[in-house]
């Protein structure tokens, strides 16, 4: 089968109007005026760039709140060598509270070239303590969405077949990317190895490979490099629930 796949995909992402992924994400939850949007972007610190495969460490003393500007990161629990669980995937527009990563054996790893920004004091406070107003509400909605996502992932791991897990994961990803980068519906950017997918979805690489092929053969998706086209969203959603 000519399934040609991934590799580092370093095209500069096309972001309309210069809006950051975080701002886009927040806007997708709550209408914000330009002043509030600027407040968000002004609240972000310098950009740190990490190579794919490197761990994001905290050199400073505080426990900053990070925002993913670009690229993919993962919260990883290492078990025996060659055995790990990717607890969560973080992509552009996501907020990562490093305080939650203090748990031993839980590390933040760059899966692709990764750019993160530290959230300044005001933003970190907004994140940890909440804030009134539309901005606070947008942020709160984002946090609630993340908690729902965690629940969804537990359901995936606990009660879904491999086919369902992958279908459901792709659907979730599509929505997330639409929110964060305003990407077109029906298109998913997935610059991850099947190995990473496997460790996130609790499956073996081989099985992920086979099931992905099955989903393609079923005409639900089509792959071209790191890009996935959702051919039949309705049927994909249907299979995520029962199949």
Partner DNA sequence: CGGGACCTTGATTATCTTCAATGCTAGTGG
Partner DNA sequence: CCACTAGCATTGAAGATAATCAAGGTCCCG
Q: By the criterion CB under 8 A, which residues form the site for a copy of itself?
A: 75, 77, 79-80, 83-85, 87, 99-100, 102-103, 106, 128-130, 144, 147-148, 150-151, 153-155, 157-159, 199-202, 241-242
- 89 lies in the site for DNA, by CB under 7 A: no
Return the number of the residue (49 or 102) whose C-beta is nearest a copy of itself.
102
Which one of a copy of itself, DNA, none is in contact with 206 (Cβ closer than 5 to 8 A by kind)?
Answer: DNA
Q: What x/- string results for residues 176 through 195 when contact with DNA is judged by CB under 7 A?
A: -----------------xxx
72 vs 139, beta carbon nearer DNA: 72
What are the CA-CA distances from residue 75 to residues 114, 136, 157, 201, 243 (Å)?
Answer: 14, 25, 16, 13, 28
Q: How far apart are CA 238 and CA 43, in angstroms?
A: 41
Dig out the tokens for 29 from the structure: 């939850």
The nearest distance, CB 161 to a copy of itself, in angstroms, is 12
Q: Which segment (25-33, 144-152, 208-216, 232-240) binds DNA by CB under 7 A?
A: 208-216
Residue 31 makes contact with DNA by CB under 7 A: no
Residue 7 in contact with DNA, rule: CB under 7 A: yes
> 123 or 190: whose CB is closer to DNA?
190
Nearer to a copy of itself, 19 or 87 (CB): 87
Distance of CA 238 to the CA centre of its chain: 23
Residue 213 is a binding residue for DNA (CB under 7 A):
yes
Is residue 3 a contact point for DNA (CB under 7 A)?
yes
The Cα-based distances of 22 to 119, 217, 225 in angstroms read: 11, 36, 26
If the CB atoms of residues 74 and 211 are measured against DNA, the closer one turns out to be 211
Q: Which residue, 47 or 155, has its beta carbon nearer to a copy of itself?
A: 155
Is 212 an interacting residue with respect to DNA (CB under 7 A)? yes
Which of 42, 103, 206, 241 is the binder for DNA (CB under 7 A)? 206
């Amino acid at each position: 089968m000519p399934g040609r796949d991934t590799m580092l995909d370093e095209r500069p992402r096309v972001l309309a109007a210069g809006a950051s992924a975080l701002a886009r994400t927040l806007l997708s939850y709550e209408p914000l005026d330009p002043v509030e949007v600027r407040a968000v972007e002004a609240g972000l610190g310098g950009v740190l760039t990490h190579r794919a495969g490197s761990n994001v460490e905290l050199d400073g003393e505080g426990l900053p709140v990070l925002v993913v500007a670009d690229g993919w990161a993962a919260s990883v629990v290492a078990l025996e060598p060659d055995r790990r669980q990717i607890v969560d995937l973080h992509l552009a527009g996501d907020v990562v509270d490093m305080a939650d990563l203090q748990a031993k054996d839980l590390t933040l790893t760059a899966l692709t070239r990764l750019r993160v920004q530290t959230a300044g004091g005001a933003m970190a406070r907004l994140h940890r303590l909440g804030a009134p107003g539309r901005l606070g509400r947008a942020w709160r909605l984002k946090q609630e969405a993340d908690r729902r996502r965690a629940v969804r992932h537990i359901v995936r791991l606990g009660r879904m077949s491999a086919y369902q897990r992958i279908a459901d994961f792709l659907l979730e990803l599509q929505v997330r990317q639409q929110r964060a980068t305003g990407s077109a519906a029906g298109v998913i950017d997935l610059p991850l190895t099947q190995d990473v997918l496997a460790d996130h979805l609790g499956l073996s690489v081989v099985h992920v490979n086979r099931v992905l092929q099955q989903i393609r053969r079923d005409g639900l998706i089509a792959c071209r490099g790191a890009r996935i086209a959702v051919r039949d969203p309705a049927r994909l959603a249907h299979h995520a629930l029962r199949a």
